Amino acid sequence: MPEKSVREMSELERQHYSLAARTFHATVMGAAVLGLAAFLIGLGLYTYALVNRYIAETFNTASSTAAIVEKVVDVSPLADEVMTQYRALNAEDRGQTGTDAYRERFAYITEREDYQALLSVLNDFLISSRLDAVYIAMYDEETSAMVYIADPSEEDQLMPCEWEPVEREGMEHFLHWDGSEKLYEIGNTEAYGWLCTGGMPLRGADGEIFAFALADASLENVAGAMKGFVFQYIITISIATVLIGYFLTRHMKKTLVAPINAIAEAAQNYAADRRAGVSEADHFALLNIRTGDEVENLSLIMADMEHDLAAYEEHLTRVTAEKERINTELSLATRIQANMLPNIFPAFPERTEFDLFALMNPAKEVGGDFFDFFLTDEDHLCMIIADVSGKGVPAALFMMASKIILANNAMMGKSPAKILEDTNSSICKNNREDMFITIWLGILEISTGKMTAVNAGHEYPAIMHKGGEFELYKDRHGFVVGAMDGLKYKEYEIELEPGAKIFLYTDGVPEADNEKKKMFGAQRMLEELNRNAGETPAVILANTREAIRAFAGKEEQFDDITMLCLEYKGKTEEPTD
């Protein structure tokens, strides 16, 4: 198929790449492949039958020859004389086989009466058969040779004691034949080409083999017969392939191509009417295709689809409007939540005793994490970081209610533990959804650097004392807020010297994962904090957030990421005059 679409093709190109053309090509190709397979199978069976015929003919002729020879002529003395003379030869003398001198040396054997009688019997069998040779010979295992005893052939007659080399495997097969199947060998000889040789052993009174009655058939006739078969078969298959392709193509055009083209045209008209704003039409129902197969089913499905699309478009219009309304409300909720959190930095520009920065990146439009910080009086700074169970709008609503309750309790001057106890009590009174919240809350006495904190199931804070490094402060956790009424919380104190820093975060920081599902982890977080330990809180948070983004790569953010960092500078002494 070319790169351009059907609409961009010329009429000639469309015909060339049409379904009808493809059907014809596929039919012809299929018929050709089927014909080739049938040809190969037929050729194999034909060749097998021919070869088996030659095997049977040579074996039967050799068997008949052996049976007649044993009744008419006593071959054993003749065979013994030939083999005795052959084995008496040295290698140099044997190498003269086929020469006039070699034949003259054993000419006396041809004058024997038993030789002439044997030759006459063999000649009768050769004339009455269609074979190339009928003869008597014996195998010599020591020299791997076939030694001829009597050969009646008019052309290329082999005289007694003449010999030819043979393959040892074939010789062993003849010498040790068990009589259970036809005795034959098919081989390619340098002198005669491909031959099928059938044989029958001649045995003496002691049962030992002294010679073989052998018959040869040239397999060149098989090749000639196969040529005629191949020619006739190719002509027949070619004609059948063209006829099958023609009639099948006509049938496919009527039952498949024409209905599909009608469906395609109806689809184009449907698309054109939709662009023109025409909605009331039955493009596919009017086709009335009655092929009784999948094509008819396709036209009915397309008619149903046309009606379903009309209903779906109407429904989609309503859904889109509703979705736009929800998106507008979510966008407003995002802005409301952002405005609920402190978002002006520096937060306390008039206070030089500390520097503070915080940020939150929700996983969805709105999140369940939050942070807060505010002065409860001139010498006390309250800091809160929390994580509500769940995500989305329910978590955001729970977060805003919890933030207000926490702030109200803190502004009453209560201790951190008391703030969480009263907050937990308030939330548990009306928490039908069984949501809960983890909270870390600390109140810094600005003048002394003493931090009083409490942890309700939240992440360990990371603290850097003056001249040191960020380390996790493994404080004692209390139970989460909102899960059980009547809980008590235990607070602890941390002494911050000028230059100390405290880093607070939600579980979205260490649990941020990448495409390999490997988490960012607390250790990697500490390494990033210590890499930026000398920076301001704003820079520390920005660099940590960027490190998390780089680690996550293309992996979508799964949880809210919230961080808060405080640097305690202590009271700055006023210069004296």
The yes-or-no verdict on residue 577 having pLDDT over 50 is no
Sign of CA dihedral 300, 302, 306, 308: positive
Average per-residue pLDDT in the chain? Answer: 85
Section 486-513 average pLDDT? 95
Q: Please tell me the least confidently modeled range out of 202-206, 541-545, 546-550.
A: 202-206
Phi and psi dihedrals of 6, rounded to 5? -60, -35
CB 521 within 8 A of CB 548: no
Q: Which of 209, 201, 75 is closest to 149 using CA atoms?
A: 75
* Residue 557 pLDDT: 85
Terminal CA-to-CA distance of the chain, rounded, Å? 92
β-bridge partners, 566 = 356, 502
Q: Please tell me the least confidently modeled range out of 242-246, 447-451, 514-518.
A: 242-246
Section 446-464 average pLDDT? 96
CB 216 within 8 A of CB 191: no
- pLDDT, tens digit, 9 for 90 and up, residues 267-305: 777 777 777 777 666 777 777 787 777 777 777 787 777
Domains identified in the chain and CATH numbers = 60-218 (3.30.450.20), 346-568 (3.60.40.10)
Nearest-angstrom CA–CA distance, 542 and 525: 13
CB atoms under 10 Å from CB of 159, counted, come to 20
Phi and psi dihedrals of 357, rounded to 5? -150, 145
Q: Please tell me the least confidently modeled range out of 255-259, 278-282, 332-336, 444-448.
A: 332-336
Using alpha carbons, list the distances in angstroms from residue 214 to 126, 159, 177. 11, 15, 14
Q: Going by DSSP bridges, is the β-strand pair 380-388/437-445 parallel, antiparallel, or unpaired?
A: antiparallel
Nearest-angstrom CA–CA distance, 453 and 449: 12
| Residue type present at position 208 | E
Counting beta carbons within 10 angstroms of the beta carbon of residue 235, is it exposed (0 to 12), middle (13 to 18) or buried (19 or more)? exposed
* Residue 332 pLDDT: 61
The yes-or-no verdict on residue 576 having pLDDT over 60 is no
Nearest-angstrom CA–CA distance, 402 and 405: 5
Alpha carbon 220 to chain centroid distance?
51
* Residue 393 pLDDT: 78
The yes-or-no verdict on residue 519 having pLDDT over 70 is yes
Q: What is the pTM of this model?
A: 0.49
Section 389-408 average pLDDT? 85
Alpha carbon 28 to chain centroid distance?
33
Helix (H, G, I), strand (E, B) or coil at 492: strand
* Residue 335 pLDDT: 65
Verify cis geometry, omega within 30 degrees of 0, for the bond prior to 259: no
Q: Where are the alpha helices (DSSP H) in 277-372?
A: 294-340
Residue 478 is classified by DSSP as B
Nearest-angstrom CA–CA distance, 39 and 32: 10
